[in-house]
Amino acid sequence: MFLDTRVLRHLTAEDWRVLTAVEMGSKNHELVPTPLIERIARLKGGASGVHKSIATLAKSGLIGRMKEAKYDGYRLTYGGLDYLALHTHSSKDVVYSVGSRVGVGKESDIMIVADKTGKQKILKIHRLGRISFRTVKSNRDYLRNRQGGSWMYLSRLAAMKEYAFMQALQEEGFPVPEPISQSRHTIVMSLVESLPLRQVSSVPDPASLYAELIDLILRLAKHGLIHGDFNEFNILIKEERTNKYTIEDGEEKEEETVTLVPIIIDFPQMVSMDHVNAEMYFDRDVECIKRFFKKRFHFVPTSPGPFFKDAKKTVGKDGARRLDAAVEASGFTKKMLKELEKAIEEQQAKIDAGEAVAEDEELEDDEEDDDEDNSDDEEDEEDGQEEEVQAVFEIPASVGRPVED
Ligand code: ADP
Ligand code: MG
């Protein structure tokens, strides 16, 4: 499933109100009873064609019925939540048009978007619950105990966490994309014109790039953080060109120097240096870089380490602000961190055990749009991140007009 903006232009104000009503109802109901949708929508805008809107939204796949439901009701689909988020971003003038998808992971979709001035940005849509569990329907306590351990809640947590960390890291001068806006399960950030390290076949000086990346790991540690997924997909390499002018034999010469600047992305799994498994995460990040540099650039550092125990001693030193604490203070509580972490772990365990099914399989057939693309998508998710970055610099259509893809 990916963002499909074709239906956007058909939606009336009434449809939006009903869609919002379903979202509001979802806070307390996994399946929002139809009478409740009617009531919330009417409260917001007077009686009228709520039913017509429900039909339109269901037909467009923005809300769905569930198979074997005990009562008549609807729930938001990913599509519905995507639309609500886009609506918010566009009302804040952050997003005007939606372009192509640059990447798809197991847990996110990455789209190029642009504002009214044509400035391009990245929309990251968290899809933590893209996979749901067969057992969910028969075991509703599972959801209740976790206070909506639903995909909607978890994806929103992932987006909130990522946004909070991106903001804190940016404030501290770390090389990260600029966080622009967050709504529900999505964030908008600046587009980094770059290639993921994964797609970089050679660099002039592997030793210095390696040192820079290790330095980033240590700088994060000093601020109390471990990236947790510091791999060649999550490090973007930007080329910065500078021109140097020199006078040689009375003649002016221009020399271009290219510097490679690493930018770090992807923060939902970041952990504190105080985490019980901090050492494991730290070592894994270091190993990841070492392995990649050896394989890709045949570079092996001369000295071992860096080691967790040394990094641990630097936490908060020299007046370094604890960003793990700062993020918590910004409203992302320990409880939320735990919930998110637990959900990611549980989900992974279910996937490993082969118990997971694609989210949309639970929708009734007649509400599934003919172009649902689960099967194809799920297949290339593993290597989806390898999609060409260059292929995206085009905005085919604006929000409110159909997207040809
Ligand atoms: P996931 O959580 O699915 O791994 P990421 O945040 O790592 O998502 O993004 C996936 C891919 O999308 C990256 O490997 C990169 O190619 C591209 N990407 C993400 N954010 C940006 C950005 N701000 N600028 C340019 N490319 C980006
Ligand atoms: Mg990633």
Instruction: Pick from 110, 155, 194, 261 the residue to mutate for probing ligand 1's pocket: most ligand atoms within 8 Å of its CB.
Output: 110
pLDDT of amino acid 130: 61
Indicate which residue's Cα is closest to atom 7 of ligand 1.
Answer: 266
Q: So what's the ipTM on this one?
A: 0.99
* pLDDT grade for 366, boundaries at 50, 70 and 90: very low
Q: What does pTM read for this prediction?
A: 0.82
Taking the chain, what is the end-to-end CA distance rounded to the nearest angstrom? 14
Rounded to the nearest angstrom, the distance between the alpha carbon of 234 and the centre of ligand 1 is 7
Indicate which residue's Cα is closest to atom 4 of ligand 1.
Answer: 105
Rounded to the nearest angstrom, the distance between the alpha carbon of 189 and the centre of ligand 2 is 14
Which atom of ligand 1 approaches the CA of 105 most closely? 3
Between these two residues, 248 and 281, which has the higher pLDDT value?
281
Output the average pLDDT for the chain. Answer: 81
Q: What is the 3-state secondary structure (H, E, C) of 328-377?
A: HHCCCCHHHHHHHHHHHHHHHHHHHCCCEEEHHHHECHHHCCCCCCHHHH
Ligand in nearest proximity to the CA of 344 = 1
pLDDT of amino acid 27: 85
Indicate which residue's Cα is closest to atom 17 of ligand 1.
Answer: 103
pLDDT of amino acid 249: 85
Distances (CA, A) of 374 to 46, 56, 69, 361: 38, 22, 23, 9
Indicate which residue's Cα is closest to atom 10 of ligand 1.
Answer: 103
User: What share of the chain in percent tops pLDDT 70?
Assistant: 77
Q: Which residues line ligand 1 (CB under 6 A)?
A: 102-103, 105, 107-108, 110, 122, 124, 177, 189, 191-192, 194, 196, 233-234, 236, 265-266, 385, 389
Instruction: Pick from 102, 126, 170, 261 the residue to mutate for probing ligand 1's pocket: most ligand atoms within 8 Å of its CB.
Output: 102
Instruction: Pick from 198, 234, 265 the residue to mutate for probing ligand 1's pocket: most ligand atoms within 8 Å of its CB.
Output: 265
In this structure, the number of other CB atoms found within 10 A of the CB of residue 261 comes to: 14
Task: Return the H-helix or E-strand segment holding 74.
Answer: strand 73-76
pLDDT in tens, 156-192: 999 999 999 999 999 999 999 999 999 999 999 999 9
Q: Does pLDDT of 126 surpass 70?
A: yes
pLDDT in tens, 377-397: 333 333 333 332 222 222 233
Q: Is 125 exposed, middle or buried (0-12, 13-18, 19+ CB in 10 A)?
A: buried
CB contact set of 166 (below 8 Å; sequence gap of 6+) = 176, 177, 179, 187, 189, 267
Measured CA to CA, the distance from residue 341 to residue 356 in angstroms comes to 18
Q: Does pLDDT of 269 surpass 70?
A: yes
Rounded to the nearest angstrom, the distance between the alpha carbon of 93 and the centre of ligand 2 is 27
Question: Which of the 8 DSSP states describes residue 387?
Answer: S
Rounded to the nearest angstrom, the distance between the alpha carbon of 73 and the centre of ligand 1 is 36
Task: Return the H-helix or E-strand segment holding 244.
Answer: strand 235-248
Indicate which residue's Cα is closest to atom 11 of ligand 1.
Answer: 103
Measured CA to CA, the distance from residue 199 to residue 182 in angstroms comes to 28
Q: Is 154 exposed, middle or buried (0-12, 13-18, 19+ CB in 10 A)?
A: buried
Q: Which residue has the tokens 């998508």?
A: 377
Rounded to the nearest angstrom, the distance between the alpha carbon of 233 and the centre of ligand 2 is 6
| Sheet with 179-183, edge to edge strand ranges | 179-183, 186-190, 120-126, 108-114, 97-104, 397-398
Distances (CA, A) of 177 to 24, 171, 193, 195: 31, 11, 10, 14
Mean pLDDT for 257-286 is: 95
Measured CA to CA, the distance from residue 28 to residue 30 in angstroms comes to 7
Rounded to the nearest angstrom, the distance between the alpha carbon of 13 and the centre of ligand 1 is 33
Indicate which residue's Cα is closest to atom 23 of ligand 1.
Answer: 191
pLDDT in tens, 42-86: 877 666 689 999 999 999 999 998 777 788 999 988 889 999 999
Q: What are the residue numbers of the active site?
A: 229
Cα 77 to the center of its chain, rounded Å: 17
Between these two residues, 12 and 44, which has the higher pLDDT value?
12
